[in-house]
Structure 1
């Protein structure tokens, strides 16, 4: 992936940054985006099952993907051979309104898709730090390598639960979370930008998937994404995704 271009003026070599590439799919509305993304992801899952006999997918939560998750549940996939896990989750009970597990059970894991195997990141433990070792072990042994990942992005440029202030108090956490390759597939996160502690996949786990999607909606988020793609000095986590992904992510966006 090229991140700069060179020009020469006389004997002077000038290196100019260029925007990181994106495979863009732009839609007029959320319904058409949800339908198209669901079909693309379902095709990836069917392909993985045909090659290996099973498929593994990590999905984002929040309000944006609700329509997409519902549309995906209606796709024709051999769901008993699919493992689903959240990209990240808040450290709240699975029945809590802010739980990504709850969202996925209410939207994706319905009808035929209810036969998929769900792998939660949350455990009945007082903190994500206390549960980190068993979560690390399970993700490493049962979820990796992933086949598909669908990421969202916040208006602050965060992806998964990898926030711009990650590692502010513990600098090593930023390196672990945003490292494109490494041995830590999950990370316990606390941030001033969110009220609850969280558990998240790291980029090293996310980048095991050959199919990587960015699902964002709204003009403000697209401006943040384009700014991060164009600025090689950006410290936004989404910039780390664009710069470190083995191949350009597929952007699905609508106003």
Structure 2
């Protein structure tokens, strides 16, 4: 794992760096394999990043969009990660509908929806039994409690290693999430983190030792690159690039 921590002046600089990374990784992947696979994060932090991506002239037919997690709400619900990304980005570019792969949240049973999305991942990535998909890039954020995706402290989802997609819970509400092995199999993972409220979580995540069940983002140790892109408010303790 090659961990890179960059602390930039403000939120806009963070967005600019994340955009630069996505464009770079997309170009490399498309040149090498003819397609680029990215899993998106939700929440408010990446919205300006998606808006910036909507202004780019990219080979959209070669880009495939997935999500790292999704709240178990209808796709037109205000809390839907899919809805946010569509409004900010995907509905504004000529990407083929078949290149967008949301997690279904319309089934009565979230566990059945997780199984269905796992099947889609296996089909898309042409996986044999036991294989794990290799995303070109996975975008992640963290909460003030150091959760990432929908992997919350002291929940069963943290320890699921035999599935690609599982059900996570926050305050009793179900969510769908990629599992830790999938996140760690990516060619590149990019954490985008802004705001002073994230300082305590980052201190625990970056500590030499710590409890992964209490601070779930510590579990993310991908085989490829690991980028932490922080604004000054979040990362003022970490002013040096660390490899």
Question: Any gaps of 5 or more consecutive residues in structure 1?
Answer: 2-20, 168-172
Q: SS state of the match for residue 190, structure 1?
A: strand
> Residue in 2 aligned with 1:175?
159
Instruction: Evaluate the alpha carbon distance shift between residue 113 and residue 147 of structure 1 in structure 2; reply closer, same or farther with a 3 A threshold.
Output: farther
> Residue in 2 aligned with 1:9?
none
Higher normalized contact order (CA 8 Å, seq sep 6+, divided by chain length): 2
Structure 1 window deviating more from structure 2 (198-207 vs 138-147): it is 138-147
1:131 is aligned to 2:113? yes
2:201 counterpart (221, 224, 227): 224
> Residue in 2 aligned with 1:145?
134
Q: SS state of the match for residue 149, structure 1?
A: strand
Question: Any gaps of 5 or more consecutive residues in structure 2?
Answer: 126-132, 234-243
Q: SS state of the match for residue 197, structure 1?
A: strand
Give 1:86 shift.
1.1
Give the TM-score taking structure 1 as reference length. Answer: 0.80
> Residue in 2 aligned with 1:196?
173
Give the TM-score taking structure 2 as reference length. Answer: 0.84
Bigger Rg, which one: 1
Give 1:59 shift.
0.8
Q: Deviations over 1:181-227 (max 9, x none)?
A: xx4111012232xx631100112112222111011101231331132
User: Could you tell me whether the CA contact under 8 Å between 1:127 and 1:197 is conserved in 2?
Assistant: no
The count of aligned residue pairs is 222
Q: How many Å separate the matches in 2 of 1:220 and 1:121? A: 29
User: Could you tell me whether the CA contact under 8 Å between 2:147 and 2:153 is conserved in 1?
Assistant: yes
User: Could you tell me whether the CA contact under 8 Å between 1:108 and 1:114 is conserved in 2?
Assistant: no
Instruction: Evaluate the alpha carbon distance shift between residue 175 and residue 186 of structure 1 in structure 2; reply closer, same or farther with a 3 A threshold.
Output: same
